[in-house]
Amino acid sequence: MKTTSRIFLIVLCFGVSALAADQSIALKAAHMFDGKSNTLVQNAVVIVQGDKIVDAGSNLPIPNGAQVIDLGNATLSPGFMDAHTHLTLDFSGDYNLLRLKEVDLNVSEQAIIATAHARATVEAGFTTVRDLGSHFVGSREFVDVALRNSINKGVVVGPRMLVATKGIGATGGHFDPTSGFRDFLFGREPDYTDGIADGPDEIRKAVRFEVKNGADVIKAAVSGGVLSLADEVDTPQLTPAEMAALVDESHRLRKKVAVHCHGDQAAHDAIEAGVDSIEHGSFMKPETLTMMKRKGTFLTPTLMATEWIMNKIDNYPQALQAKAKSAAAARSEMFRNALKLGVKISFGTDAAVFPHGQNAKEFKLMVDLGMTPVDALRSATANDAELLGIGQKVGTLEKGKLADVIAMPGDPTSDITATERILFVMKEGKIIRRGAPTVQGISESTTPDIAAPVD
């Protein structure tokens, strides 16, 4: 080959690949929820180039050479976020079976299973999750960190993850992984390396240990929980001094703090200490909610978790049934009060209590309890982006944001269950799903009958 034609060929090749990299994608749909407006934008167009949105609006001109994807009578939305998942934990409708699996399965196998959970979640339209606690009893593996890193490297398909590593909590509290098992079954009492810490100094050490090992966010249990065998659901489990140390050390290291909390007293102390979000919040009284509103603390209500447990209540041990019933009885009124008082609501489900990939069922539960569909959509987009501290990058469809764009059929403001039938998912400009989901086993075949909210 002559030198000139070789150069021409090289120029041609580079020219073509540069063109491919720069090629825009124009997403078109009848409607768009942009994460900011109170109404849907009609005749929507989102222009994507590389991993970013370069424009979004109504009837925008299509750039020359753009690939047009016309989604028809659908609604475009920023990728949903779930501020409370446990992607590394497996779901089982049978509590005792799950408990057996926890000690039976090798942690490597559980990590491989978690990759399917990640895919089911992103295919359901959830392009970001805050994963709040991952532990395997008797193991020191950081499976959530590994999963996050593998997704970031493109090895595993899944949502962007902000991970908490091991939840921090008191000896015998909601997060104590040995609670309910025979004493010393695992050879030693758990310590700060398992997230179990007593006293302000140990709490600081646990926070530092988790950040050292890759935590993006700190999770702690400040009150009892429903699915733990050795505690009462609403008792405070950290002292005010321990909570102050938790928040101070986390914020010092620029990490936000999410606390598992059902009880009112514990919530009061945690909000006063300056936590960023209260997870669950079942028994919170109006005075405590008013304090949240004043301090700008988010509430992540996880209605799906209660709903699922109540629907499968016979599968849980007697002691847990009583705790679940009392939390379920309190949480609907708490949620309505939070709406009335204007508390900031973040969208979070506690996925793993129910099968991964069904996160969007939370929307209907929120709307059935009085939230407007637009506010429910905003909770899973702009609100969660604010809580997660990533509002500069994602959460709305506008110029300069990362191209996390999903589409659902019809109009979710007239039928919120459209959120459960996602038909298109793009994450950072890459199309992850167009058409049927690939993870049928997890997201479809185990679909339960979800009854009306439990009052």
Minimum distance between the CB of residue 70 and Zn ion, rounded to whole angstroms? 39
Please, which residue, 76 or 275, has the CB nearer to Zn ion?
Answer: 275
Number of residues that bind Zn ion (CB under 5 A): 1
Minimum distance between the CB of residue 454 and Zn ion, rounded to whole angstroms? 18
- Retrieve residue 64's tokens: 């020359």
Taking CB under 5 A as the binding criterion, the range among 31-39, 200-208, 210-218, 349-357 that sits at the site for Zn ion is 349-357
Which is it for the CA torsion 235, 356, 168, 104, positive or negative?
A: positive
Please, which residue, 24 or 282, has the CB nearer to Zn ion?
Answer: 282
Using CA atoms, how far residue 115 sits from 20, 177, 433, in Å, is 30, 23, 16
Taking CB under 5 A as the binding criterion, the range among 101-109, 342-350, 382-390, 405-413 that sits at the site for Zn ion is 342-350
Q: Does 269 interact with Zn ion (rule: CB under 5 A)? A: no
Q: Would you put residue 429 in left (φ > 0), alpha (ψ -120 to 50) or beta?
A: left
Please, which residue, 194 or 350, has the CB nearer to Zn ion?
Answer: 350
Q: Would you put residue 97 in left (φ > 0), alpha (ψ -120 to 50) or beta?
A: alpha
Element (H, E) at 200: helix 200-212
Binding mask 297-336 for Zn ion (x = CB under 5 A): ----------------------------------------
Minimum distance between the CB of residue 303 and Zn ion, rounded to whole angstroms? 13
The letter for the amino acid at 392 is Q
Residues facing 67 on adjacent strands: 25
Minimum distance between the CB of residue 368 and Zn ion, rounded to whole angstroms? 22
Q: Which of residues 144-163 bind Zn ion (CB under 5 A)?
A: none
Taking CB under 5 A as the binding criterion, the range among 197-205, 313-321, 348-356, 405-413 that sits at the site for Zn ion is 348-356
- Nearest-CB residue for Zn ion: 350
Minimum distance between the CB of residue 227 and Zn ion, rounded to whole angstroms? 9
Minimum distance between the CB of residue 135 and Zn ion, rounded to whole angstroms? 12
Taking CB under 5 A as the binding criterion, the range among 282-290, 347-355, 359-367, 389-397 that sits at the site for Zn ion is 347-355
Q: What's the half-sphere exposure (Cβ side, CA atoms, 13 Å) at 406? A: 31
Please, which residue, 158 or 167, has the CB nearer to Zn ion?
Answer: 167
CA pair distance 32, 450, nearest whole angstrom: 28
On whether the CB atoms of residues 373 and 416 are closer than 8 A, the answer is yes
Of the chain, the end-to-end C-alpha distance in Å amounts to 79
- Retrieve residue 295's tokens: 């301090």
Using CA atoms, how far residue 41 sits from 44, 58, 77, 113, 241, in Å, is 6, 6, 10, 39, 49
Q: At 291, is the secondary structure helix, strand, or coil?
A: helix
On whether the CB atoms of residues 224 and 326 are closer than 8 A, the answer is no
Binding mask 76-95 for Zn ion (x = CB under 5 A): --------------------
Please, which residue, 226 or 377, has the CB nearer to Zn ion?
Answer: 226
Binding mask 176-215 for Zn ion (x = CB under 5 A): ----------------------------------------
Which is it for the CA torsion 242, 274, 333, 354, positive or negative?
A: negative
Minimum distance between the CB of residue 418 and Zn ion, rounded to whole angstroms? 26
Minimum distance between the CB of residue 288 and Zn ion, rounded to whole angstroms? 20
Please, which residue, 350 or 362, has the CB nearer to Zn ion?
Answer: 350
Please, which residue, 305 or 454, has the CB nearer to Zn ion?
Answer: 305
CA pair distance 352, 44, nearest whole angstrom: 35
Please, which residue, 269 or 350, has the CB nearer to Zn ion?
Answer: 350
Minimum distance between the CB of residue 126 and Zn ion, rounded to whole angstroms? 15
Q: Does 350 interact with Zn ion (rule: CB under 5 A)? A: yes
Minimum distance between the CB of residue 401 and Zn ion, rounded to whole angstroms? 28
- Retrieve residue 242's tokens: 């321990």
Please, which residue, 52 or 101, has the CB nearer to Zn ion?
Answer: 101
Q: At 313, is the secondary structure helix, strand, or coil?
A: helix
Please, which residue, 351 or 418, has the CB nearer to Zn ion?
Answer: 351
At a CB cut-off of 8 Å and minimum separation 6, what does 441 contact?
116
Q: What's the half-sphere exposure (Cβ side, CA atoms, 13 Å) at 60? A: 24
Please, which residue, 90 or 350, has the CB nearer to Zn ion?
Answer: 350
Please, which residue, 231 or 350, has the CB nearer to Zn ion?
Answer: 350
Q: Does 362 interact with Zn ion (rule: CB under 5 A)? A: no
> What is residue 246's DSSP assignment?
H
On whether the CB atoms of residues 419 and 80 are closer than 8 A, the answer is yes
Minimum distance between the CB of residue 78 and Zn ion, rounded to whole angstroms? 24
Taking the CB of residue 377, how many other CB atoms lie within 10 A of it?
A: 28
Of 48, 1, 49, which Cα lies nearest the Cα of 21? 49
Minimum distance between the CB of residue 302 and Zn ion, rounded to whole angstroms? 7
What residues make contact with Zn ion under the rule CB under 5 A? 350
